[in-house]
Structure 1
Amino acid sequence: MKPYEDLTKNYIAGIWRDGNGQTTHENRNPYHNEVIGEVKSASKEDIDEAYQSAKKAQVEWEKRNPFERASVMEKAVHILESRREEFIQHLIQDSGSSYIKANVEMDFVIAITREAASFPLRMHGEIVPSLIAGKENRIYRKPIGVVGVIGPFNFPMYLAMRSVAPAIATGNGVVVKPDKQTPITGGILIAKAFEEAGVPKGLLNIIHPAVKEVGDAVIEHPIPRLISFTGSTPVGRHIGELCGKHIKKSILELGGNNALLVLEDADIERAVNSALFGKFMHNGQICMAINRIIVHQSKFDEFVDLFVKKAKTIKVGDPQDKDTLIGPLINKGAIERILRDIEKAQEQGANVVLEGKVEGNVMHPYILTGTNDVATAKNEMFGPVATVISADSDEEAIDIANDTQYGLSGAVHAGSPERGVKVAKQIVTGMVHVNDQSVNDEPLIAFGGEKDSGLGRFGGERSLEEFTTMQWISIQSEERESPYHANYLD
């Protein structure tokens, strides 16, 4: 199988070409910092052409037999599986993913595409009884039309695909804007795979605009009826406001300040192992990553000692090494931001019990102890930094966990599942995992957050609902009496 080539283009109306914008994006390998490609930005005119193309192609795609649409999706699954190692290498080079993380991401990508392949055959309608004699009410599930997808850099392929695959499967056209730091894995490879699978030309478009040139054109364009965004809460709030202004739907998966609660009867070694995975997977650059670890005071010292001891053994460095768990952060700016928060947290009374070091864009683990008010606990680190906080009771631990604007994920370690669930139900967050860590995603499960962590849900039946709309069509089989009927007028 020949590897995909020419991975520096926009994909508009079924044609791979340079954009007409004035900016050239340098795509750099986060580990070596070498340029691996240059992408010419899309202009406002390119954005319009992409949306117009998606709209035109969608009309015909929606009419395709559902079995045919499902077959195209199944072929896409086969392509993703057969090109798995090729895509893993791109994830390592494009986003700095470790080999371990890239494999996890490909599992997610394949799983959500396989689940979406069933959607064309699950777009069921209903016949509902009517109050009116002689009337039949039909409810049809239909595509929304055209969907705009704006993706992030951290899990670029999966967090785009979880919108792209359901949208296409349910009969929509799609325009994707990947993060400029991950253009290959966040969009180009997805389009290559669907192109090979036989998706009609123009249905799926990939654009690389520069915000300084086009502003909010991707969001405000009149054609898309849904904008799916994964990224920071400030940007998500702006997108939500624009969607409200233009009366279009939005799905927003935003930031997190996730807590792992370790109760007094928890298995400490098991909790530490969960904390290591949930905190340091992909260097902490995961919206679901553990940011705060809240430990019962009777187990606090034991937990911290073991957590530090095991964190020191984590392999850090080249993401190509299959044993590496922590590779590079996405750029130097991320490291500078994190170091500022660590310094501020120390000024606020936090203690650094494991001091990492920085090598290029690679940051070794940092572990602090402190309160929920220090900077590293208040802010989403999005890096390999954990803050451990002591709590005197389950109630205090719950209060600390809820003392944040976010509510995406979380975890509770307890001596019994029942106690863990009792505590979990009191945490205001979209997802909580008992005797596990916070980084979990499955294609059949409702995924999404509360509070400032977003709106809407991905996964299974919820994705089917998010990317479709309902239409009520009624049939009056016998003449309906009304004040204007002849009997009333006699």
Structure 2
Amino acid sequence: MTESFTGPSGLFIDGSFRPASDGVVFPVEDPSTGKTIVDVANASVADGLEAAEAAQKALAPWGTRTPRERAEVLRAAFELLTAHRDEIADLIVAENGKARVDALAEADYAAEFFRWFSEEAVRLPGSLRESPTGNRRIMEISQPVGVVLAITPWNLPAAMITRKVAPALAAGCTVVVKPSNQTPLTALRIAELLTQAGVPSGAVNIVPTRRDREVIAALIDSSPVQMLSFTGSTQVGRQLLSQASGRILNTGMELGGNAPFIVFEDADVDKAVEAAMTAKMRHNAEACTAANRFYVHDNIRAEFTGKFVQAMEALRVGPGSEDGTEVGPLASKAALEGLQEAVDAALQAGAKRATGTDVPAGPGYYFAPTVLTDVAPDADILNHELFGPVAPIVGFTDEDHVVAMANATDMGLGSYIFSADLARALRVAERVHAGMVGVNTGIFSDPAAPFGGVKQSGIGREGGHHGIHEFLETKYIAVQW
């Protein structure tokens, strides 16, 4: 595929594509074959700092544009990303591996952040009121936080970028994006489309690199960068927070999840299974919002498990680019090996495999959709974010007990609750420790809603009205007249 790839593969700094300053490149792999798609420029520390300087130079001109002017550019970006959705989906499939149907859904989701924040750009918060003593007016205005370092993961290579870049631009900030080195091609193509939409040179810079630690550390320490926005693992998030503390940077952290999927005895089993398939298997089951632990009431556990197993076995596994594929390969060999180790350990601990024995032949990093039963409530597999098509099922009989099991984790990103009793579902939704809860639905991500977690699943919110506030500073002005 190297010979046929014609998209951008250089660093995108100050409005143009260029090689790394020292000429170093790294290969981007197709997970369905293990073969190289193209070699991409490998940013050095000097390149990263140059991108930060370009963002700093563009900050004042972009931030002082009127909200309406910024909004029109973001609206144009939405229209361009929508017009090129098929091309973006193809890039996602090529470098990430997910099924094309999921890649198309991601392309639409990614574009929607530009439409939503084009509308939020003209509604920045501000207020004017009389002080309680009556001797002055209290004026509050919102100003852009400055240059943002956005670090994004491989699992949603388009949406995780637009969810940060769109609100940052709407707020008047400029951005340096460090995409995952597994999936930089989508990021580079988005940068190209943003330029066509009217985003000025330097306002968005893309620096793919495999020299992550050195480049990120240098950027965090660089004076232009005033905010760090990260999506990725909790472990890496801790390290970045420690580094950011040295300069007291503003931080937004969207970290790992361990979402419970709770099914009460009065739930519609067919609808619960349908939603479970969405919550578990969307985006190749490689999403931080994916249902990770299934708690099913003992009265319906056998029925739910049987129908869930049938649905998992019906999935078509194969290259994401092939028509009809519903589950593509995992994104890397390391991901495949890690998931296999987790399943093997669960089986050795007493779990049973209800389905998932037929692994598609390679090349490629394929893992058969798997359901595990007879999983103990304290099984180790329940303590880890699986990031793959494996569903462990645990039985329960008592509401308090299942809430306690759901909350027995340091993570708190998403949860799912199924019950015909809406009062109970909402009661449990309030009790579970999570930033987002799906009640009788298998999907809750929405650009118009706040996305984020509690506990060690993150800091701050992306999307919704909250999303733009993350990139704003509130200034108080005391006024007498």
The interval holding the TM-score normalised by the smaller chain is over 0.9
**For 1:362, what is the secondary structure of its paired residue?**
coil
The answer as to whether partners of 1:356 and 1:363 remain within 8 angstroms in 2 is no
- Aligned match of 1:273: 274
Structure 1 equivalent of residue 257 of structure 2: 256
Aligned residues: 473
In 2, the alpha carbon distance for the partners of 1:5 and 1:22 equals 19
- 1:163 and 1:153 mapped to 2: Cα distance? 15
2:97 partner amino acid: G
Other-structure match for 1:74? 75
Match of 2:202 in 1: 202
Residues of 1 paired with 2:479 and 2:214: CA distance? 50
State the secondary structure of the residue aligned to 2:114: helix
Consecutive unaligned residues of structure 1, counting only runs of 5 or more, are 478-490
Change (3 A) 1:349 1:326: same
Listed one character per residue, the Cα deviations across residues 124-166 of structure 1 (whole Å, up to 9, x for unaligned) are: 4211212455523221111111111000000111011100011
Distance 1:357 1:332, change over 3 A: farther
8 A contact 2:82–2:108 mirrored in 1: no
Distance 1:418 1:160, change over 3 A: same
For 1:261-280, what per-residue CA distance to the aligned partner results, in whole angstroms no more than 9, with x for missing partners? 01011111111111122112
State which of 437, 442, 447 in structure 2 corresponds to 1:443: 447
Instruction: Judge conservation of contact 2:99–2:328 (CA < 8 Å) in 1.
Output: yes
What is the CA distance between 1:476 and its match in structure 2?
Answer: 2.8
Matched, 1:334 2:335: yes
Q: Where does the alignment leave 5 or more consecutive residues of structure 2 unmatched?
A: none
Pairwise CA distance, 1:244: 2.2
Greater Rg over alpha carbons, structure: 1
After TM superposition, the structure 1 = structure 2 runs for residues 50-449 of structure 1, keeping only pairs within 5 Å, are: 50-131=51-132, 134-185=135-186, 187-209=187-209, 210-211=211-212, 213-214=214-215, 216-358=217-359, 359-360=361-362, 361-369=365-373, 370-437=375-442, 439-449=443-453
| Structure 1 stretch displaced more, 116-125 or 421-430 | 116-125
Matched-pair identity in %: 33
**When the two structures are superposed, what TM-score results if normalisation uses the length of structure 1?**
0.93
Larger deviation, residues 357-366 vs 73-82: 357-366
Residue pair 1:100, 1:322 contacting (<8 A) in 2 also? no
Q: Letter of the aligned partner of 1:109 in structure 2?
A: A
In structure 1, distance between residues paired with 2:26 and 2:233: 21
- Pick one of 454, 469, 477 that aligns with 1:473: 477
Deviations 1:402-427 (A, max 9, x none): 11111111111112222211122111
Deviation of residue 119 (structure 1)?
2.8
Alpha-carbon contact 2:316-2:324 (below 8 Å) kept: yes
**What is the distance in 2 between the residues matched to 1:299 and 1:6?**
51
Q: CA deviation at 1:212?
A: 5.4
SS of the residue aligned with 2:225?
coil
* Counterpart residue identity of residue 246, structure 2: K
CA distance in 1, matches of 2:154, 2:400: 36
The two structures, once aligned, show a CA RMSD in angstroms of 1.7
Query: Which amino acid in 2 is paired with 1:411?
Result: Y
Give the distance between the partners of 2:17 and 2:23, measured in 1 at CA: 18
1:372·1:378 contact (CA, 8 Å) conserved in 2?
no
1-side partners of 2:136 and 2:6: how far apart? Answer: 57
* Alpha-carbon separation, structure 1, partners of 2:274 and 2:459: 31
Tell me if structure 1 keeps the 8 A contact 2:99–2:284.
no
**Deviations 1:264-318 (Å, cap 9, x if unpaired)?**
1111111111112211222210000011100111111121112112211111112
Residue type matched to 2:93 in 1?
Answer: I
CA distance in 2, matches of 1:54, 1:122: 24
Specify whether residues 283 and 357 from structure 1 end up closer, same or farther in structure 2 by C-alpha distance, changes over 3 A only.
farther
Indicate conservation of the 8 Å contact 2:85/2:108, yes or no: no
Deviation at 1:351, TM superposition (A): 1.4
CA separation of 1:202/1:153 partners in 2, compared to 1, >3 Å: closer, same or farther?
same
CA contact (8 A) 1:266 1:415 kept: yes
Q: Distance in 2 between matches of 1:125 and 1:213?
A: 39
Contact 1:21 1:213 survives alignment (8 Å): no
Deviation of 1:5 after TM superposition, in Å, equals 4.6
CA distance in 2, matches of 1:153, 1:417: 36
> In structure 2, how many angstroms separate the alpha carbons of the residues matched to 1:454 and 1:258?
14
Residue type at the aligned position of 1:414:
S
Q: Which amino acid aligns with 2:171?
A: T
- How far has the Cα of 1:215 moved from its partner? 5.7
SS of the aligned residue for 2:378 comes to coil
Q: How many Å separate the matches in 2 of 1:4 and 1:225?
A: 36
Contact in 2 for aligned 1:295/1:389 (Cα 8 Å): yes
Q: Indicate the residue corresponding to 2:464 in structure 1.
A: 460
Q: Secondary structure at the match of 2:158?
A: helix
Counterparts of 1:373 and 1:357, CA distance in 2: 28
- 2:415 maps to a residue whose letter is G
Contact 1:409 1:449 in 2 (8 A): yes
